[in-house]
Amino acid sequence: MKQIFGILSFLLFFAVSGFAQQSPVKWEGNVKHVKGNQYEVTLVATMQTGWYIYSQYMESGGPVPTKITFFDAGVKPTSIAEEFSDYRKEGFDELFEMEIIKFGKQVKFVQTIEVPEGLESIDGHVMYMSCDDEQCLPPKRQKFNLSLNDVTFSLM
């Protein structure tokens, strides 16, 4: 009996661990110098089949909207962040019982920012929530670091 309990506990541990590590969204990105102190930040989310993330422009009371945050003082958005996707779905959602905008497969978020003189890198995160037709995962924050000297991008 102890062996059966031990085996079941072991299997349950790995099942829960696997669920906790589930990440149906992968992020990539880049930064491009525009002019002067202006840069264009592009974040690309790629979702596993059947998974979605939500627009930045959502009414309250539903899914958590995607939000890009820059931590460094003096970093200012110079435009609204744009969303580009061939997989945009807009309309009434049965799960949330409201009108929503969600993206499947892939979506690109493009934000133009102005940075203070002498700033060499930018830290921030993108917060998002992912759902499929049966479940929603808790909102997640994906940290990023932008090096303005090398114009490289890394996700942490």
pLDDT tens track for 75-109:
999 989 999 999 999 999 988 899 999 999 999 99
Radius of gyration of the chain measured on its C-alpha atoms: 19
Tell whether the model's pLDDT for residue 16 goes beyond 50: no
pLDDT tens track for 25-76:
999 888 899 999 999 999 999 999 999 999 999 999 999 999 999 998 889 9
pLDDT the model gives residue 152: 47
Q: Give the pTM.
A: 0.80
Domain architecture of the chain: domains with CATH: 25-155 (2.60.40)
Tell whether the model's pLDDT for residue 17 goes beyond 70: no
pLDDT the model gives residue 107: 98
Confidence of residue 149 (pLDDT cuts 50, 70, 90): confident
Look up residue 151 and give its amino acid.
V
pLDDT the model gives residue 75: 93
Contact present, 98 and 32 (Cβ < 8 Å): no
CA dist 138 and 136 (Å) reads 7
pLDDT the model gives residue 15: 39
